[in-house]
Structure formats: C-alpha cells, structure tokens
Chain A
Amino acid sequence: MKMAFHTLFGALAASTMLTCAAQAEDTKVGVLQSLSGTMAISEVTVKNAELMAIDEINAAGGVMGNKIVPVVEDGASDPAIFAQKATKLITDDKVATVFGGWTSASRKAMLPVFERTKNLLWYPVQFEGNECSPNIMYSGAQPNQQIVPSYDWAKAKGYKKMFLVGSDYVFPRTANLILKKHIAKDGLTMAGEEYVPLGGTDFSAVIAKIQAAKPEIIMSTLNGDSNVSFFKQLAAAGLTSEKLPVMSFSIGEQEAKAMGTELVKDSFAGWNYFQSLPGEANAKFVKDYQAKFGADAAITDPMVHGYLDVYAWKAAVEKAGSFDPDKVRAAAVGLKFPSPMGDVEFAANQSLVQPALVGKLKADGQFEIVWQSEGAIQPDPYDPVAFPGKSCKLH
C-alpha cells in the first residue's frame, strides 16, 4: 500500500512537471546493463539505481528544463552485445550519453564504439585500471583507491604473509600483479597465488595449498558464486576467520546477504562505499531505494556509483550549458557534486576522486567500517609501483 502510494505520488509529480515544462524537449540517455545472463544479478541493481536517479532528476525539473528519457538496453552479459547495443543507442536512438557496463570485458568492447562516435560512457564499477579513454568517465575505484589501500591497511595491521586467491579473469590477475609488486617492494612474503575458473566450485586443491603455505591473511578477488564455495570449504577445513582472515574485493552487501552471513561473518572487504556509511545523503538514498525496491534490498558500491554518475552528468551538462559529450566531459572535471558518498568530483583523468574504506562484515549482513583513508584519494589508472612511467592525461 505504501509502495502504491509512493508510485502514484511519483507519477503525479512527474506529470505536473511535464505540464509545467511543456516547451522543453526530451533528452534521451542510454542505460546499458546486463538484464539477462550471468551478470544480470549484479547489473540489474545498478540499472535500478540509475533509473531512480533519472526519475528523481525528472521529478525535480529535468536537466536544463529537458525531461530525461532513459532508453534501457540489455547487454546480456556478452561483450559483443554490449558493443552492438551501444552502437544502437548512439546511432539509432541518438542518446546524449550512456550509463552502463560492469565487467571490464563489456567496457573494453564498448570503448571503440564510444571513441568512434565521440559519445560518453559513465562506467560505475571498480576495475583494474590500465585504461584511459577520453570517452569514458570512470567512477568506480582505480586500483590505488581500493586494492592498494586495503593492502596497506593489512600491512599496517601486521599481516606479513599473504595468499592471493582469485577468479581466473582480468581484474584478479591484474590486481594480484599489482599486489605482488607491492609485497615485493615492502619485503613481505607471498605465500601463494591461485586462480579458479569463473563460476568454479571446487576449492579442494586451493585450500590444500593454502594449508601447506600457512599464510596470515588471504586477499581474495574471487567473483560471485565461487565465494560461497570458497568460504564453505574453508570453514569445512577448519580455517575460520579468527584463524585465517580473508580480505575480499568483490563481496558487497548483496553478495553477503545471498551467501548467508553466517558463512562470511568477520571477513573483511575493501570498497569506497558501504551501506552503513554515516551521513544524511546516504540515509536518504538508502531510504528512497528501499522504498522503491523493498525494505530488505541491499545497497552496494557499484549501485551508488551508477546513481551518482547520473547526477555527475546532470551537473556537468548544466555547467557546460550543452549536452555535447565533449563539452560535458570537460565540464565534469573538477566539478563538485553531491552524492550518497558526500560531495565528490572527477579528476583530470576522468576518474572519480574518492576515499577508500575497509569494512568488517557483521552478523546482520552490514559492514562495520573499520578503517577509512585520510581524505579522498586521487585516482591513478597506472599503479606507480607496478607500472612505473605510465600516466593518463586527458585534460
């Protein structure tokens, strides 16, 4: 009932807006996430957050008086389809910009499309860096805003012997390459490095190797369902979080809830946002989202980035006074705008300046923030320790 009232109210508000701004045109934007396939679980929530931001903006009068019309497309967890649908959004639907993508594979496939058409993609997920395109705004964390700070935190906590476990794809392998360089530089010990195919469920050999190597902490870049198997089999082998802590880079509130917190309780995670983040802006965002999608909906880091991307675009369009992607991306640099994470801005390399957090998972599925970087960290796509001499200059 409450839901119905909310929707009704929203619709009323939107229609009043429409009549008020009768002269204004519609501006189309693309929302391109996987609605089917293996990535749909995660990406649908980002789509929801992006659409919610668009609704809010429309309810508040649109962008420069124009109503924003989202065109939603399904990337189907397939990079070639992402490229195909991005082309469709830009050439057929003539969208002003596109919000979307999750896997690096999808972003890599879309990149040439955006560069060729000189359009702009807002990408909401943490990734492995090593990319610098003028036609992409990277709001998810660069390695130096998530992996490296979490490693520094573990190092400061006195963990000296680290074991790296990951799903077998680009982000874990690159993240671990960076970690290995840091471990070598800092004189810590690499206890081992293991990869399991995406979706893999048998960790018997990996755990046997962990037991043989006796690390002090595990740095995990395992993805999705593999986490459940890993934690289950770790517990079955008697390796509880007290004996051997795990720091994960891909477990958020949603994953923890799905896995059953019993299993992952007391493990650590590194992100830039947690649902438990204090502050009024976040409280409002969480409340609004849950009013729309259910009181127990989990809020995760990529969702917030998808949401704030839309607001960043709005702020930049209004500053530039134009929907032209080139002017928008220039205007976005250094422009502060409000978000659930507080006021943030994009750096000259078109990545978001943001703080890093380390959380410890509690029994209720929320993270207790145990550490926060001193202020926001400037993004750097090329980790200076692992890839010296590389830099990204766009403006």
Chain B
Amino acid sequence: MPKYLSQLWIVALVLAVAAPWLISSYELSLLGRFLAMAILAIGLVLLWGEAGILSLGQGVFFGLGGYAIAMHMKLVSLPEGELPDFMMWSGLDALPWWWVPFANPVFALVAVVALPAIVGALFSWLVFRRRIVGTYFSLITQALALCFATLLVSKQDVTGGFNGLTDFKTLFGQDLASPGAPIALYFVTLGFVVLAFLGARWLIGSRYGILLRATRDGENRVRFLGYNTTPYKVVAFAIAAALAGLGGALFTLHAGVISPALVGVVPSIEMIVWVAVGGRYSLWGAVAGALIVNFAKDEISSALPEAWLYVLGAVFILVVTLLPRGIAGLVRDLAGRRALVATKPQEVQK
C-alpha cells in the first residue's frame, strides 16, 4: 500500500480528536451517534467478512445493550420508592425482579456487553450445533429480530413498549444535561471505537482469525482437518453481539432514547448496509460505511424524504452486485495493490 494511504489513519484520528472544536454541537452529536453505530459495524466485519456469517438480527444485540444501560438510567433517575412511569400506567405495583440488579451501575455496565454476548452465544450455539448455516441462518436471525421487537412492544408493562425508554437524567452521578456532557460522551465513544478497532484487528490477525476465514471458505474442509467449527463460529457471533451491545448502549446515551423502532427487522438490515457499503472485509471500511450511510441518510431524508428509500435500495443493489468489497475494496484497487488484500474473498462459494 502506498505510504500516504497507510498513514491516512493518523489524519483521521487527529480530525476525530479535534472534531469538538471543528464542527457544531449538533454535528458533533450526530458524529458521536454514528461512531457508536460504527462499533457495531466493526463486529460485523468479524462476523460477516471474516466468518462469512450474515446476521440479519444485529438489532437484537444493539437493543439489548441499549436497554441494559437505559434501564439503569431509568432506575437512578427515579425518586425513592417510585416505579418508572410506564409501569405505573400499565398497572404494575412492584419492580420486576430482573429489573432490580440494573440499579447497580457495575452490573449495568457489565450487562451492556455480557447480556448480548450470552444471548448471542446461546442462540447461535443452538443453531450452529445442528449445522444450520448460510441463508437458513440469516433467515432465522431475521425472525429473531422480528420477535424481539414484537416482544418489546407487547410487554409494555416491563419494557416501556413502543415508546421505549427515554428521559434519562444522570449517568454514574454525572448530569447528562450539563454542557460538557456531550463532549465527554463523544470522547468515550471515540475511545471505544479505537479499542474495538484494535481488538478486532488483533483477532483477525491471530490464529483464531485464520480459522474463521478457513471456516468461511470451506467449512467442511476445516471440519475434516479435525476442527470442530461450531465453537469458533459461536465465539465470533458472541463477539459481534457484544460489540453491537456496546454500540447500542453508547447510541442510547447519545440519542437519549432506545425503542423497538431501532432494533427490528429493517434497522437490522440497515446495519448490514453500512458494512456492505464500507466494505465487509475491511475494519476502517466498516467504520467509514457506518458514518457515510448515516450522514447521507440524515442529509437526503431531510431534503428529499421520498427519495431516500430509492437511493438506499439502489446503493444496496449496486454495491452488492458491482462492488462486493465496498468502498474499502474500491480504494485498495485504485491504490493498485490488489494482490496484497489480506482477506481476499472467495468468489465461488459453492
């Protein structure tokens, strides 16, 4: 790769750190929100790019992380002895037992990543252990997203229903309305993006990453070599779920709301769009994809709400058919170093 390209990340990082002084507070809040989504996208590179597992249910894990932190903030913003308002008007008179531990900040923080990881591991183990793969797996994850959103809406007395959870006041004793809060939150998010990025890069380069790619390109061959592929795939799914949960929690802090509208079938597919556009085999591509698609959505849907779905649909078709390695692949090709792509996809999967 040419020198100038490989050094580009320094520029990106400097710009990201300087962003609070370069752009308006509204744009900063958008950037923070989209960076939170980029953490989920990093997980998808691992799961979809490296392991070849297409999950159409990432919204579920995004939601689990978001709800975990939201439940905590809801509980700490309550006056002593009171219930969250939606429980009151749903006729509940006591806090459900599984809400209680979320009052503890440490528990809530751990739950943000542990809850999606455990649910993801359990779900994917049930499906992978019976060797259900490929399209079948994707379709089941989509049904999972539908069921999760439906359950959240229908169990209104304990989840807040369609309205979701909102109106948070403090986090770990810090006032969320204070003027410094958005900037602090932005840097926390940026820090997690960098951590997730480095962590994922290390995993991809490790022996585990090699096995994941081998499983993607020929699962049966790997199996015949004596490996049980199920645990590798379950771990990949759990890690992607944990990253989705982390992204969901940070998103909830930025947006001030988490609701079923953010976790269902359509949002889950949109998450795939980010990574497809950015490049499913490239970490920085996925981050760029999450930012580009979301900023484009913000701009286009304001100016021409009708056009947004046409644009999104067309971009999707074009990227998938003509540009399967996304923007990242395009940039690499333009830089003329085709041969050195670390994780070149196998074109023929059959």
A interacts with B:
yes
Looking at the complex, which of B42-50, B119-127, B222-230, B253-261 is the stretch in contact with chain A? B253-261
Contact B259–A170 (Cβ < 8 Å): no
Q: Mark A72-114, 1 if CB is under 8 A from B, else 0.
A: 0110111110011101100110000000000111001101110
C-alpha spacing A258/B159, complex, angstroms? 33
Asked if B153 and A112 make an inter-chain contact with CB atoms under 8 angstroms apart, the answer reads: no
Is the pair B257, A108 in contact by a Cβ cutoff of 8 Å? yes
Q: Is A2's CB within 8 Å of the partner chain B?
A: no
Known: A108-B167, A109-B256, A130-B89. A170 touches B161 (CB 8 A): yes
Are B85 and A130 in touch, CB under 8 angstroms? Answer: yes
- From B29, B33, B262, A78 is in contact (CB under 8 Å) with B262
Interface SS, A side: helix
A116 CB-CB contact with B under 8 Å: yes
Q: In this complex, what residue of B is CB-closest to A180? A: B91
Are A173 and B161 closer than 8 Å at their CB atoms? yes
Please tell me if the beta carbons of B154 and A197 are within 8 angstroms of each other in the complex. Answer: yes
B164 contacts across to A, CB distance below 8 A: 79, 105, 108-109
Find residues 225-270 in chain B having any chain A CB closer than 8 Å to their own CB. 251, 255-257, 259, 261-262
- Does B1 count as interface, using CB distance less than 8 angstroms? no
Q: Are B162 and A104 in contact (CB under 8 A)?
A: yes
Contact B89 A76 (CB under 8 A): no
Residues of A within 8 A of B261 (CB): 77-80, 105
> How many B residues touch A, CB cutoff 8 Å?
38
- Closest residue of chain A to B162, judged by CB? A169
Q: Which of B153, B163, B257, B309 contacts A80 (CB 8 A)?
A: B257
Contact A36 B154 (CB under 8 A): no
B167-210 vs A: 1/0 string, CB under 8 Å?
A: 11000000001000000000000000000000000000000000
A168 within 8 A of B: yes
Residue of A nearest to B181 (CB): A116
Given A79-B261, A173-B161: A87 and B26 interface contact (C-beta under 8 Å): yes
- Judge if A177 is at the interface, Cβ distance under 8 Å: yes
Question: Which residues of A sit under 8 angstroms from B91, Cβ to Cβ?
Answer: 177
Provide the bound-state CA to CA distance between A148 and B179, in Å. 43
Q: Which residues of B contact A168 (CB under 8 A)?
A: 150, 153-154, 162
Residues of B contacting A: mostly:
helix
Q: Does A128 contact B (CB under 8 A)?
A: yes
Q: Does B302 contact A (CB under 8 A)?
A: yes
A48 at interface, CB cutoff 8 A: no
Report yes or no: A76 in contact with B257, Cβ–Cβ below 8 A: no
Which of B86, B91, B154, B257 has the most C-beta atoms of chain A within 10 angstroms of its own C-beta?
Answer: B257
A174 to B91, CA, bound (A): 9
Within the complex, which residue of B153, B166, B302 is in contact with A108, where a contact is CB–CB below 8 Å?
B166
Q: Is the CB of B29 within 8 A of A87?
A: yes
Interface pair A198/B162, CB less than 8 Å apart: yes
What's the least CB distance linking A362 to chain B, in Å? 32
List, in ascending order, chain B residues with CB within 8 A of A173's CB: 90, 156, 161
Contact B162 A103 (CB under 8 A): yes
* Cβ 8 A contact of B302, one of A74, A80, A103: A74
Size class of the A contact interface (CB-based, 8 Å) = 35 or more
Question: What residues on B are CB-neighbors of A197 within 8 Å?
Answer: 150, 153-154
Q: Does B88 interact with chain A (Cβ within 8 Å)? A: yes
Contact A170 B305 (CB under 8 A): no
Name the one of A36, A80, A130, A198 contacting B305, with C-beta atoms under 8 angstroms: A36
**Assuming A105-B162, A197-B150, A197-B154, is B305 touching A76 (CB within 8 A)?**
yes
Q: Kindly identify which residue among A73, A84, A128, A169 contacts B255, using a CB–CB cutoff of 8 Å.
A: A84
Assembled-state Cα–Cα distance A79/B165 (Å):
11
Q: When each residue 155-173 of chain A gets 1 if its CB lies under 8 Å from chain B and 0 otherwise, what string results?
A: 0000000000000111001
Of the listed residues A79, A168, A387, the one surrounded by the most CB atoms of chain B closer than 10 A to its CB is: A79
Contact with A along B23-67 (1 / 0, CB 8 A): 011100110010000000000000000000000000000000000
A170 / chain B contacts, CB cutoff of 8 Å: 86, 156, 161-163
- Whether A259 is near chain B, meaning CB under 8 Å from some CB there, is no
Best-surrounded residue of A80, A116, A174 (most CB of chain B within 10 A): A80
CA distance A242 to B156 in the complex (A): 34
B257 touches A109 (CB 8 A): yes
How long is the Cα–Cα vector from A237 to B150 in the complex, in angstroms?
27
Interface residue? B343 (CB, 8 A): no
Residues 101-151 of B at the A interface (beta carbon under 8 Å): 150
Whether B255 contacts A80 by the Cβ 8 Å rule is yes
A36-B306 contact given A84-B30, A105-B261, A177-B90, CB 8 Å threshold: yes
Which residues on B sit within 8 Å (CB–CB) of A344? none
Q: Chain B contacts of A104 at CB under 8 A?
A: 162-163
**Does A335 lie at the interface of the complex (its beta carbon under 8 Å from any beta carbon of B)?**
no
- Considering only residues 301-315 of chain B, those with a C-beta below 8 Å from chain A are 301-302, 305-306, 308-309
Chain B residue at smallest Cβ distance from A171: B162
Q: Once the chains bind, are A177 and B89 in contact (CB under 8 Å)?
A: yes
The answer for the CA separation of A78 and B262 in the assembled complex, in Å, is: 8
In angstroms, Cα B200 to Cα A314, docked, is 56
State A79–B66 Cα separation when bound (angstroms): 14
Are B89 and A195 in contact, with the CB atoms below 8 A? no
Determine whether the beta carbon of A105 is less than 8 Å from that of B306: no
**Residue pair A108, B163 in contact (C-beta under 8 Å):** yes
Q: Within 8 Å CB of A386, what residues of B?
A: 89
Whose C-beta in chain B lies nearest to the C-beta of A129?
B89
Cβ contacts under 8 Å, A73 to chain B: 302
Query: Contact partner of A111 among B154, B166, B306, CB < 8 A?
Result: B166
Q: Which residues of B contact A121 (CB under 8 A)?
A: none
Answer whether A80 and B259 are a contact pair too, CB < 8 Å, given A198-B153, A387-B88.
Answer: yes
- Please give me the residue from chain B that is nearest to A78 by CB atom: B261
Residue of B with least CB distance to A72: B302
When A and B form their complex, which 6 residue pairs have the shortest distance between CB atoms, in order from nearest?
A169-B162, A36-B305, A35-B305, A109-B257, A80-B255, A130-B89
Which residues of B pack against A, CB within 8 Å?
A: 24-26, 29-30, 33, 85-86, 88-91, 150, 153-154, 156, 161-164, 166-168, 177, 251, 255-257, 259, 261-262, 298, 301-302, 305-306, 308-309
List 29 contacting pairs A-B, 8 Å CB cutoff, sorted by A.
Answer: A36-B301, A74-B301, A76-B305, A77-B261, A78-B261, A78-B262, A79-B259, A79-B261, A80-B262, A87-B29, A91-B24, A104-B163, A108-B167, A109-B164, A109-B256, A168-B150, A168-B162, A169-B156, A169-B161, A169-B163, A170-B86, A170-B161, A170-B162, A173-B156, A195-B154, A197-B150, A198-B162, A387-B88, A387-B89
A→B interface (CB under 8 Å) = 35-36, 40, 73-74, 76-80, 83-85, 87-88, 91-92, 103-105, 108-109, 111-113, 116, 128, 130-131, 168-170, 173-174, 177, 195, 197-198, 386-387
